[in-house]
Amino acid sequence: MESYGPAVLRLAVGAMFVAHGMQKLFAVWGGGGLSGTAAYFASLGLSPAYPLAVAVGVIEFAGGLLLLAGAFTRYVSVPLAAIMTAAIWTAHLPHGFFINWPLAAGRGHGVEFHLVVLGALVCLMLSGPGALSYDHARARSAEADAAGRARLRGKL
Q: What is the pLDDT of residues 55-87, one digit of tens each?
A: 999 999 999 999 999 999 999 999 999 999 999
How far is the C-alpha of 125 from the C-alpha of 153, rounded, in Å? 34
Amino acid identity, position 85: T
* pLDDT digits 0-9 by tens, 4-56: 999 999 999 999 999 999 999 999 999 999 999 999 999 999 999 999 999 99
Residue 71: helix, strand or coil by DSSP? Answer: coil
pLDDT value for 49? 95
- Before 102, cis peptide (omega within 30)? no
- Alpha carbon 132 to chain centroid distance? 18
- Predicted structure pTM score: 0.86
Check residues 89 and 136 and name the one with the higher pLDDT: 89
Q: How many helices (H) and strands (E) does the chain have?
A: 6, 0
Please state the rounded mean pLDDT for residues 113-135.
93
How far is the C-alpha of 93 from the C-alpha of 144, rounded, in Å? 47
CB 72, CB 66: distance < 8 Å = yes
How far is the C-alpha of 126 from the C-alpha of 130, rounded, in Å? 11
Which of the four pLDDT bands, split at 50, 70 and 90, describes residue 154?
A: confident
